C-alpha cells in the first residue's frame, strides 16, 4: 500500500474538477489518499469530488479546510456546516477520524488560525481587509472559546501513543517557519492566516513521523526535528505550471 498526500483541490474550478476526474481508476485501488482540506465550499461539489476519489483509492482520509466552512448566505453557521461535511464523509466512507492502515496510523488534526489576531492585523496589513473567511464564515455566538481552540480541542481524544508509525495531517500549517518569509510573498500577511498555534505540540504528542498540511498553496517537503512536513497542493488553475494532479507519495508498506 502507498499513501499519497494532496491538498487544496478547489474542484469548484472546472480545470481542477477535470484533473481529479482524469485520475486513473486502476492505478491506486490499493492505495490511500490524504486530502488536507479545501476541496470546495459547495456541499454538492465536495460530495462529487469525494465520491470520485473514493472510486479511485482504497482509502481517502480528509478533513475540511477554511473554504469548506464558508456559509455565505446559508441559514446554518460554520460549525453546523463542519458537522454536515463530517456526516457526508461518514456516508461516503471517507475517514475523518484516526484509521489504522497497513503499517501505520493516519490521524487527522482539525485546526484554525488565530482569527482574532488576524482581524486585528488589518490595521497593519490592509490586504487582510478582503480575506474571504471574515465574510463567508459565520461562527455561533455560543462557542465560548476562540475558533482555533474549538478545533484543537476536538483532537484531544486522539493524542496518545499508537502501536505503529503515525502520519498526521491538518489544513493549516503547524508552525510558521514552514511558510516562506513575507518578503518572498505577494500576499505579505499570509503568516497571519496560515498557521495554527498549538498544532505542532499536538502532532508531537501523537508521535507523528510525517505531517501533511495545506492552505498556503506552496509546496513543501522538509524535515524538522525528526518530523517530515509535506504540502502537495493542486492550487488554483492560474497558479499551476503544469496540468498534472500533484500526487506525492509519502509512505509505502
Q: With bands split at pLDDT 50, 70 and 90, how would you rate the model's confidence at 116?
A: very high
- Tell me: the pLDDT tens digits for 183-222? 888 899 999 999 999 999 999 999 999 999 999 999 999 9
pLDDT at 242: 83
C-alpha count within 13 angstroms, C-beta hemisphere, residue 143: 16
> Does residue 108 carry a pLDDT above 90?
yes
> Does residue 126 carry a pLDDT above 90?
yes
DSSP-assigned letter for residue 76: S
In angstroms, the Cα distances linking 66 to 32, 78, 158, 228 are 23, 10, 22, 23
- Tell me: the pLDDT tens digits for 127-154? 999 999 999 999 998 888 899 999 999 9
pTM over 0.85: yes
Q: What's the rounded mean pLDDT across residues 32-49?
A: 98
**Nearest one of 127, 83, 106, 97 to 212, comparing CA atoms:** 106
**Nearest one of 212, 138, 133, 135 to 173, comparing CA atoms:** 212
Collapse the DSSP code of 172 into the 3-class scheme (helix H, G, I; strand E, B; otherwise coil) and give the result: coil
DSSP-assigned letter for residue 242: S
For residue 187, which phi and psi values (nearest 5 degrees)?
A: -95, 90
Amino acid at each position: 500500500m502507498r499513501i499519497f498526500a494532496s491538498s487544496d483541490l478547489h474542484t469548484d474550478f472546472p480545470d481542477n474538477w477535470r484533473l481529479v476526474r482524469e485520475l486513473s481508476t486502476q492505478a491506486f485501488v490499493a492505495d490511500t489518499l490524504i486530502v488536507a482540506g479545501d476541496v470546495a465550499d459547495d456541499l454538492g461539489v465536495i460530495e462529487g469530488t469525494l465520491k470520485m476519489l473514493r472510486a479511485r483509492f482504497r482509502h481517502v482520509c480528509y478533513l475540511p479546510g477554511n473554504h469548506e466552512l464558508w456559509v455565505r448566505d446559508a441559514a446554518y453557521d460554520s460549525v453546523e456546516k463542519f458537522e454536515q461535511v463530517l456526516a457526508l464523509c461518514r456516508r461516503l466512507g471517507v475517514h475523518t477520524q484516526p484509521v489504522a492502515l497497513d503499517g501505520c496510523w493516519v490521524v487527522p488534526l482539525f485546526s484554525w488560525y488565530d482569527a482574532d489576531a488576524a482581524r486585528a492585523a488589518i490595521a497593519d496589513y490592509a490586504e487582510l481587509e478582503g480575506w474571504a473567511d471574515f465574510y463567508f464564515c459565520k461562527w455561533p455566538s455560543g462557542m465560548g472559546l476562540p475558533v482555533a481552540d474549538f478545533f484543537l480541542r476536538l483532537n484531544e481524544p486522539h493524542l496518545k501513543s499508537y502501536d505503529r508509525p503515525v502520519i498526521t495531517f491538518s489544513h493549516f500549517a503547524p508552525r510558521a517557519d514552514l511558510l516562506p518569509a513575507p518578503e518572498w510573498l505577494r500576499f505579505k500577511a499570509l503568516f497571519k492566516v496560515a498557521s495554527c498555534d498549538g498544532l505542532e505540540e499536538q502532532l508531537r504528542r501523537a508521535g507523528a513521523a510525517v505531517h501533511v498540511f495545506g492552505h498556503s498553496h506552496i509546496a513543501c517537503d522538509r524535515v524538522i526535528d525528526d518530523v517530515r512536513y509535506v504540502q502537495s497542493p493542486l492550487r488554483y488553475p492560474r497558479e499551476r505550471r503544469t496540468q498534472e494532479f500533484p500526487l506525492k507519495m509519502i509512505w509505502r508498506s
